[in-house]
A and B are shown apart, each in its own frame.
Chain A
Amino acid sequence: MTSTDQTDTDLRSLLNDVLGLGAARAAALTADSGLFGALPELDSMAVAGLLTEIEDRFDIVIDDDEVDGDMLGTYGDLLAFIARKRGEA
């Protein structure tokens, strides 16, 4: 498994923990699956919690300035952002 595959697995697991999606919905996320704006559970408090968990589990620091619709719009956007932060892409 490459580190990017591992990031994908870990991010699905994290979204499952934060959003309570259940394993099946978490596994069914595709790059185009909408996140912020598409999932009503994902309000600003939930996004703040999600970002804090991402920082802890992926050992990265996210500036408030980096958080916007481009980063959180879809599952693919968020995965690419984390991979870039970790120097994987």
Chain B
Amino acid sequence: MPATWPCPGPSGIADEYAVLFDRARAVRLLIVPPLFEEMNRTRRMLVETQRQLDGLGVDSMLPDLPGCNESGQVFSAQSLGSWRDAMATAARHFGATHVLAVRGGALVFPTGLPGWVLEPQKGASILRQLLRARVLSAKEAGREESSADLLEQGRNKGLELAGYRLSAALVAGLDAAVPQDEGQRVIRQSDLGGSALWLRSEPGEDPAQSAALARLIAAEAQG
């Protein structure tokens, strides 16, 4: 079910969307999605995981990161800091008791909640892949660019990568960020079976993986 939540932003409070399965049950899971293209590639998997969790007696909410998905906020105004604030706000608004952070979501989730991180990713790895995509597409167009020069430019003035306008703060933040998990359990792809959907060049789905993820979370949360 779509719901909105009030998210502080540079131009005041903005309404952001979340996919919500809420029957006021004891375990309420906040899902923090991956960043950039991996968010789109994993969306069907995560919403299916929410449906499965609903059947297993767990409430869940998947909020948009400001500037992403249905968000009306400007992407170029975002940083890891603004995403961390937003996810902490969503956790409070929805009364989350647990958190699942997926891939780059592990850089911005509310660390005070117990829960899980799924194949967490370093910020520098995310940035490197985005820089590489830009260098490759420049090369196809007959231009020479270098990752090192682009990174320097990005840290000073911001940078357009893979169709996203990254602020200087976001570039610098990603370059330095490591997953924030401390006590949350790390889930590996091998725990879910199949191949990782965030790697797919075209978005896919795999209900068996979503079911495995939901079962694992429900079993551990409900102890």
Give the chain B neighbours of A47 by CB distance below 8 A. 133, 136
**A20 with B204: in contact, given A52-B125, A67-B136 (CB under 8 Å)?**
yes
Interface footprint category on B: 20 to 34
Residue pair B132, A18 in contact (C-beta under 8 Å):
no
Q: How many A-B residue pairs have CB under 8 A?
A: 54
A48 to B38, CA, bound (A): 13
Residue pair B196, A45 in contact (C-beta under 8 Å):
no
Q: Does B195 contact A (CB under 8 A)?
A: yes
Which of A53-89 touch B at CB < 8 Å? 53, 64, 67-68
**A44 with B133: in contact, given A17-B195, A64-B147 (CB under 8 Å)?**
yes
Residue pair B201, A20 in contact (C-beta under 8 Å):
yes
Of A46, A47, A48, A68, the most chain B CB neighbours within 10 A belong to A48
A67 to B136, CA, bound (A): 8
Q: Does A4 contact B (CB under 8 A)?
A: no
Residue pair A18, B130 in contact (C-beta under 8 Å):
no
- What is the total number of residues of chain A having a CB less than 8 Å from a CB of chain B? 20
**A48 with B202: in contact, given A17-B196, A64-B146, A64-B147 (CB under 8 Å)?**
no
Give the chain B neighbours of A17 by CB distance below 8 A. 195-196, 199-200
Residue pair B130, A48 in contact (C-beta under 8 Å):
yes
- The minimal Cβ–Cβ distance linking A14 to chain B, given in whole angstroms, is 9
Give the chain B neighbours of A19 by CB distance below 8 A. 200-201
Which of A1-59 touch B at CB < 8 Å? 16-20, 41-49, 51-53
Residue pair B128, A52 in contact (C-beta under 8 Å):
yes
Please, what's the 1-or-0 string for B127-158, where 1 marks a CB less than 8 Å from any CB in chain A?
01110111111011000001100000000000
A46 to B198, CA, bound (A): 11
Of B130, B132, B140, B162, the most chain A CB neighbours within 10 A belong to B132
**A45 with B200: in contact, given A52-B125, A52-B128 (CB under 8 Å)?**
no
Q: Does B85 contact A (CB under 8 A)?
A: no
Instruction: Give the interface of B toward A (CB within 8 A).
Output: 37, 125, 128-130, 132-137, 139-140, 146-147, 162, 195-196, 199-202, 204
* 21 CB < 8 A contacts A-B: A17-B195, A17-B196, A18-B199, A19-B200, A20-B200, A20-B202, A41-B202, A42-B201, A43-B201, A44-B137, A45-B201, A48-B129, A48-B130, A48-B132, A48-B136, A49-B129, A51-B132, A52-B129, A64-B146, A64-B147, A67-B132
